[in-house]
Amino acid sequence: MGYKIAVVGATGNVGREMLDILAERAFPADEVVALASRRSQGQEVSYGDKTLKVKTLDTYDFSDTDICLMSAGGETSKEWSPRIGQQGCVVIDNSSAFRYDADVPLIVPEVNADAIVGFTKRNIIANPNCSTAQLVVALKPLHEAATIKRVVVSTYQSVSGAGKEAMDELFNQTRAVFTAGEIKQGGKFTKRIAFNVIPHIDVFMEDGYTKEEWKMVAETKKMLDPKIKLTATAVRVPVFIGHAESVNIEFERPLSAEKASEILRAAPGVLVIDKRENGGYITPHEAAGEDATYISRIREDATVENGLNFWCVSDNLRKGAALNTVQIAEVLVNRKLLNRSKRAA
């Protein structure tokens, strides 16, 4: 018997990507249900070669559903995820609502799949922030090899991380530049995004860091190792899809660039594209639509003992959100962790 899957937020960027990836990866689903708010009821979304009519979340009964992929924002998740979990359906939540809850595992399958067993406390599993997901996929094998002491990361994050309205804002502002039209500001971004970069993602905190930067610290510690010291600067760039990161690492033990490259080439979910020549590296443009976390520009940092730099790029809608969520669902299925007694009855 296949599984019954619900996708909440099915009309959004990430929700649509989830449906695509479920179909692409031939997830063993007998039935997939697209859910959203009342205003989206009756809209149509694609699932492989099928078209699904969107149903409303408010009136949906989850008691015979195995897994709910939740991508409707933090407030919706806070309200609905516990309720859905209590009906016996496992929620994999893409928002920040439960990431820091001690009773909710925060999972990147290539990094800490074994921690998934903790989901039974609340029937909720959290998906990390998009910028953290790709980072820890690269850090994990290096940490195992030489033990990471400290990480300094600067992000170059695409506008799709802020949703469809943000993508529209970049498009409209860029068009206005070329047509000498009015460049409208004050939408999703605090400053003009077209032909500009903005060192501000999420809200500011008391210490001067933004919430996005704090998330990277807290999530890396929870998933990888609480001893790792990490500092981040998160920057929005005028790219539609694909987050890039400049990563500097200090290790406990020596690790050459050659050895690091060898380790990363063998790591799950990672592709190394690193030729020291023109174009011998990856950019967000090439990573868009791909599943891998790409690593380039691997080199030693001579300014610290046991230092290393690299460039990390991934499609934030996929590995940073939808793909990781589906991979978590695959872990539940492959490890036979779902209690299906109610459905069998």
The active-site residue out of 68, 130, 143, 312 is 130
Closest CA to 94 of 185, 5, 193, 15: 15
Q: Is the pLDDT of residue 336 over 50?
A: yes
**Across 208-226, average pLDDT:** 98
Residue 342's pLDDT band, with cuts at 50, 70 and 90, is low
Residue 1's pLDDT band, with cuts at 50, 70 and 90, is confident
User: In this prediction, what percent of the chain has a pLDDT beyond 70?
Assistant: 98
Is 143 marked active-site?
Answer: no
Q: Are strands 229-233 and 148-156 parallel, antiparallel or unpaired?
A: parallel
Q: Is the pLDDT of residue 343 over 80?
A: no
Residue 341's pLDDT band, with cuts at 50, 70 and 90, is low
The active-site residue out of 68, 89, 143, 243 is 243
Annotated binding site for substrate: 157, 236
Is 243 marked active-site?
Answer: yes
pLDDT at 226: 98
Annotated binding site for phosphate: 99
Residue 338's pLDDT band, with cuts at 50, 70 and 90, is very high
* Mean per-residue pLDDT over the chain, rounded: 96
User: What is the separation of C-alpha 124 from the centre of its chain, rounded to a whole number of angstroms?
Assistant: 16
